[in-house]
Chains A and B, each alone.
Chain A
Amino acid sequence: MATTRLDRWTRVLSWAAALSLVGLLLMIFFFSPTERTMGNVYRILYFHVGVAWVGALTLFVALVAGIFYLRRRDPRWDTISLASIEIGLVFVTMTIVSGSVWARPAWNTWWIWDVRLTSITVLWLVYAAYFMLRGAVEDDEKRRRFAAVYAIFAFVTVLMTYLSIRFLRSIHPVVVGGVAESATGLTEGESEFASGVAWKMGVTMAVSTVSFTLVYVSWLLNRIRLQQMIEEVAQLKNRLLARL
């Protein structure tokens, strides 16, 4: 099959993402400082926070693509929405597992039903349900339309997750001390880190966000190509059936 523009961009971005990740790993292990209380394990957070933010970004893109589909009715927007939610779900999964592994040394438990973990689990369920909805609708046009509507509604969950984590203190009155709370954000956790090197953490975190955005875009293009193949197969099938 001839190399299309999509193929070329996919390859370029895949390389960019890979290189970026390598650079990020180098930064994480050689550039960013060692944390006082927890030691080196806090470096999990660079990946954990990075995928979390980019995951939210993918779900936002899915929302926008859904809106564009409803207004323009071009199936390509639906493809972008579908691919973004698929990748977003993978990113949220990575967020949950990395968060859980972080929780074990930080809070001495693999899992706890506090606001953060509960909200992110709900988010995962909401977007997993997206695929249930798509599977339940037979008509192509209706499936795309309903999926777009659901993508819009589901993003409310993303907003609520963010708000809940920001404003709802833990459901349990007494969980653990400052370490748990300071894992919320770098600004809060800065007190744990030797002052004066916090800017290095910020830079590394920014690089992490950029890297995972590149990962997202490269995966998105790849997934779009897969969708194009699926459509081509469907078209060929129709043509074959027409000849019978």
Chain B
Amino acid sequence: MLTLSIFLSVLAQTPIDDPNRFNQYLLLAYAVMWLVAMAYLFNVANKQRNLRQEIRLMRRLLEEDEARRPE
């Protein structure tokens, strides 16, 4: 009787290892990596957008200037 009660109490205190118990870290890791990657891509895309505007503006300026004084 004593051994049975000890056995049952031990069994009750030991959690069965649930493979999903750390899933929040799994999600967090993927989320953070995704964020880092997106931050970089966003940065590059932003720079590209600004540069495209600048190029368009400068090309137009050059065209106007060349039209006025063709050198």
Contacts and interface: CB of A to CB of B under 8 A. Distances in A.
Nearest to A51: B33
A36 B69 CA distance: 78
Interface residues of B, number: 32
B65 A236 contact: no
Interface size class of A (residues with CB under 8 A): 35 or more
A39 B51 contact: no
Contact of B37 (A41, A94, A233): A94
Contacts of A223: 44
Interface string B38-67: 001100100110011011001101100100
Contacts of B54: 233
Contacts of A219: 40-41, 44
Contact of B22 (A48, A105, A230, A243): A105
A243 B36 CA distance: 43
Contact of A38 (B22, B36, B55): B22
Nearest to B71: A243
A175 interface: no
Given A39-B22, A93-B36, A229-B48, A240 B29 contact: no
A102 B33 CA distance: 12
B48 A225 contact: yes
A105 B48 contact: no
A42 to B, nearest CB: 9
Contacts of B40: 87, 90, 219
Contacts of A98: 29, 32-33
Contacts of B7: none
A41 B26 contact: yes
Contacts of B23: 39-41
A44 B33 CA distance: 10
A104 B44 CA distance: 32
Interface of A: 1, 34-41, 43-44, 47-48, 51, 87, 90, 93-94, 97-98, 101-102, 104-105, 219, 222-223, 225-226, 229-230, 232-233, 236-237, 239-240, 243
6 contacts: A37-B17, A40-B23, A98-B29, A101-B28, A226-B48, A233-B58
Interface of B: 17-23, 25-26, 28-30, 32-33, 36-37, 40-41, 44, 47-48, 51-52, 54-55, 58-59, 61-62, 65, 69, 71
